[in-house]
Structure 1
Amino acid sequence: MKEAIAILTGGGPAPGMNTVVGSVAKTFLRQGYRVIGLHEGYTGLFNPSPRTVDIDYPMADGIFNQGGSFLQMSRFKPKDSDFENNFNLKFFTDNNIKLLVTVGGDDTASTANRIAKFLEAKKYPIANIHVPKTIDNDLPLPKGTPTFGYESAKDKGAVIARAVYVDARTSGNWFVLAAMGRSAGHLAFGIGEACHYPMIVIPEMFDKTEITVEKIVNLVISSIIKRKIMGMDYGAAVISEGVFHALSDEEIRKSGIHFTYDEHGHPELGKVSKAHIFNEMIEMKLKELGLKVKSRPVELGYEIRCQTPIAYDLTYCSELGIGVHKLFAEGKTGCMVYVDSEGNVSPLYLKDLQDPTTGKIPPRLVDIKSDKFTSVVETILNAITPADYEAAKAYVPNPEEYDFHKILNWK
């Protein structure tokens, strides 16, 4: 029987999913392998009748440059009892599968390792190689290498954010944008930097103080007042949804948000409009201060996850997909494929990334000590400083409360 590989996509979509799948398939097909695509992520491995598709070369060629994921995705995370009672070992043995390729974030990678260990214990050793993706860009890849999908999501987000900024200037309004980013503010910061937004709010900025609803609101108000002093009655702020993750239970109750949680224990932020919530809180504060400012909410969410990948990700994801075969041919397993800026392929083992105490992979945060971040704060953002206090008194009686550095407790 012909040797085969299986490939699945887990978690949420990111531009480049199909590029990876198509590139993996093309490479292995040329080497004589059968390529089996698994629908619904890991769900298919824990039921007796998985939904599969044989990926041939024309199919791989047809999907590689498309957005979304041809293989239906799932966030299913198996329990220990699933391994004991429901694992479909027959799928691997009957199809002579030698490699499981998983495409996803850290949760998907962790499950891939559990499956590899389980199969080895069952005397059916199988290689597993993971391809790291997330538009959040928060997996700690070496040398600042982005996770695939981030550059495309940032690009498409910036297209929307640029149009919104033009609307703000045209109509004399303010806009409040919320960008995805569960643990880190890379996407919000990248979009805000690209579009010269006068205010960017990301969780990493609160390194010296607790994140509260009031501080988030006051940062935006600070920018609104600064722009008024500058003679500009318009603007836009982009806020990372990750600030919600750092809010205390009390602060979440203050915001009026009622979260549901996914199977991994993460708040299902996709079920609420963060932009609407932020905008409502800001409007309440503006009314309280007697400032006549119109603001509008814009959510940067699902519409950027399935965009057609830009050239950067088409190239990067092709290299990742081809790199899977290189690592497999070298006998590597239990690793992620890593491609550096020069196109060199190497394995990246989870044990080298994970916290030695918890075993979890810590998120890569925006480096707020970097020249890049500092230059954006100092040259692009508009916010009240002590030099603005006197002029700001025309709008608020206590301008020091809206001082950018004081809000963040930066010295």
Structure 2
Amino acid sequence: MSTKRLAILVGGGPAPGINGVIGSVTIAARKRGLEVVGFYDGFKWISSSSFDPAVHTVPLDISRVSRIHLEGGSILRTARDSLIKGGAIDEAKVANVRKVMESLNVGYLVTIGGDDTAFSASIVARAMEGRLFVAHVPKTIDNDLPLPGDMPTFGFQTAREVATSIVKNLMEDARTTNRWYFVVIMGRSAGHLALGTGKAAGATLTIIPEEFGDRKVRVEDVCDIIEAAMIKRKALGRDDGIAIVAEGVALKFGDVEEIERILGKSIPRDPHGHVRLAEVPLGELLKNEITRRFEERGKKITIVTKDVGYELRCAPPIPFDIEYTRDLGYGAVEYLLSGSYSEEMKRKGAMISILNGKLNPIPFDEIMDPVTGRTRVRTVDITSYAYQVARSYMIRLEREDLENPEFVASMAKAANMDVESFTKRFGHLVS
């Protein structure tokens, strides 16, 4: 048969820069004489018995992709379908993928996606037993993949810039109208996007799941943090503010059944079994509880909730992500086709990263959690200097606030409480 083809697919949620990777991979591969084919909708069709190459693939050449790096979205679309079913590998789907690769003479596969797509890519690499080499380009606005050197996942910087612009506008509206905004920002397993946005915009406070460690918390516990910050802000002379909360905080309320109990309804799951956090009205839960508390103390407060996430995912990439995705796409082809990496390494497949300005493919088995067998997740290090700086600029109740008699009295007055009741009510936040 003719020279093997290179195929590209995109899995998971959209992120700014996907088209940059598609374009970069296509151009680099075409220059090396390879045919390039794009699979529509991630693993959805190639893992199905209804796969039709005339409908579910598109040939890619340089003229088709030469300017797509400037665009948001994905010309290959994307889907969350995986090769996992009920927590185990779906061997029927894997067999379908293998059949498609062999029938189309695909010898190289570039997958673009997050941790779930990376896991499916590693399954394909093992199943093909060296007849197909796989390179995974990490993509997620959550920035939660374990890249070395604190490198971000592509799409994160663009998402943070767009989110920061939104929050800046809300901050001005809050100041102008003397109200509070509770902004819930995407981030299932990690608070990078919420924290990065809050830090860049100068939000009043940001709450991320990592600050609670491994323990479970209640809605009331999160409300305590925000309410105390609102009262402190009032004592400092301001009736307005922005509280940013990472959506993953909802998972700290307990298992899925506990969250459903709080909501009084069931929550949909995605194909990977993850709770669709967009279906959890976290902002409303916090708003309703805090509004009730203020009213009980005879205080009136205006709170507006805003979810930020979907409007970030298909934004046109900023120059950082345009350049970064070009490096990653070129690196994927270099890893697959050059003689710089051993045959054994290529058989295993790898995630593409850049370390100290150089290509740094990471074998799939090195990014997998030995306990879960799934791709490891990078969370915010709350002991880091970066978090320390972010935390120091937030308005939150601090120990020294309660050690200052005059300021405690001022906060108690702002809350319409006596000093003893205020200290008893919120003292646990600094203990």
Tell me which amino acid in the other structure corresponds to 2:389: S
Distance 1:61 1:390, change over 3 A: same
How far apart, in 1, do the equivalents of 2:109 and 2:80 lie? Answer: 17
Match of 2:380 in 1: 366
How far apart, in 2, do the equivalents of 1:238 and 1:129 lie? Answer: 36
Contact 2:108-2:133 at 8 Å conserved across structures = yes
Determine which of 280, 283, 286 is the counterpart of 2:294: 286
Match of 2:252 in 1: 246
- Please list every run of 5 or more consecutive structure 2 residues that lacks an aligned counterpart in the other structure: none
- Range moving further from structure 2, 102-111 or 73-82: 73-82
Matched, 1:136 2:142: yes
Determine which of 131, 136, 154 is the counterpart of 1:148: 154
Identity %: 33
Matched, 1:356 2:370: yes
Contact 1:14-1:135 at 8 Å conserved across structures = yes
List per-residue Cα deviations over 1:259-279 (Å, max 9, x = no partner). 111221211112344333332
Question: Which segments of structure 1 move beyond 4 Å, counting only runs of 4 or more?
Answer: 79-82
Match of 1:391 in 2: 410
Determine which of 75, 80, 99 is the counterpart of 2:80: 75
Match of 1:400 in 2: 423
Where do residues 2-401 of structure 1 align in structure 2 (5 Å cutoff)?
A: 2-46=3-47, 47=49, 48-50=51-53, 51-78=56-83, 79=85, 80-83=89-92, 87-120=96-129, 125-207=131-213, 210-248=216-254, 249-250=257-258, 253-256=261-264, 258-328=266-336, 329=338, 330-331=340-341, 332-333=345-346, 334-340=349-355, 342-383=356-397, 385-386=401-402, 387=404, 388-394=407-413, 395=415, 396-397=417-418, 398-400=421-423
How far apart, in 1, do the equivalents of 2:39 and 2:224 lie? Answer: 48
How far apart, in 2, do the equivalents of 1:401 and 1:25 lie? Answer: 63
How far apart, in 1, do the equivalents of 2:122 and 2:6 lie? Answer: 16
Cα displacement (A) at 1:94: 3.5
Cα displacement (A) at 1:241: 0.5
TM-score by length of 1: 0.92
Cα displacement (A) at 1:181: 0.3
Distance 1:165 1:202, change over 3 A: same
Cα displacement (A) at 1:210: 3.2
List per-residue Cα deviations over 1:212-258 (Å, max 9, x = no partner). 10111111111110111011111110000001112114465235464
Contact 1:244-1:252 at 8 Å conserved across structures = no
Distance 1:291 1:209, change over 3 A: farther
Tell me which amino acid in the other structure corresponds to 1:117: R
Cα displacement (A) at 1:90: 4.4
Tell me which amino acid in the other structure corresponds to 1:4: R
Tell me which amino acid in the other structure corresponds to 2:177: S
Distance 1:316 1:270, change over 3 A: same
How far apart, in 2, do the equivalents of 1:219 and 1:174 lie? Answer: 14
Cα displacement (A) at 1:92: 2.3
Cα displacement (A) at 1:72: 1.5
Tell me which amino acid in the other structure corresponds to 1:237: A
Residue 166 of structure 1: SS of its match in structure 2? helix
Contact 1:130-1:336 at 8 Å conserved across structures = yes
Tell me which amino acid in the other structure corresponds to 2:136: H
Distance 1:67 1:392, change over 3 A: same
How far apart, in 2, do the equivalents of 1:89 and 1:371 lie? Answer: 46
- Please list every run of 5 or more consecutive structure 1 residues that lacks an aligned counterpart in the other structure: none
Tell me which amino acid in the other structure corresponds to 1:351: D
How far apart, in 2, do the equivalents of 1:400 and 1:255 lie? Answer: 31
Contact 2:40-2:57 at 8 Å conserved across structures = yes
TM-score by length of 2: 0.88
Distance 1:169 1:362, change over 3 A: same
Cα displacement (A) at 1:62: 2.8
How far apart, in 1, do the equivalents of 2:331 and 2:182 lie? Answer: 41
List per-residue Cα deviations over 1:77-120 (Å, max 9, x = no partner). 12445537861544323432110110011111111121122222
Cα displacement (A) at 1:182: 0.3
How far apart, in 2, do the equivalents of 1:252 and 1:226 lie? Answer: 32
How far apart, in 1, do the equivalents of 2:150 and 2:94 lie? Answer: 41
Cα displacement (A) at 1:209: 5.0
Tell me which amino acid in the other structure corresponds to 1:291: K
Contact 1:7-1:38 at 8 Å conserved across structures = yes
List per-residue Cα deviations over 1:132-175 (Å, max 9, x = no partner). 11111111111211111111111100000000000000111111
Cα displacement (A) at 1:281: 2.8
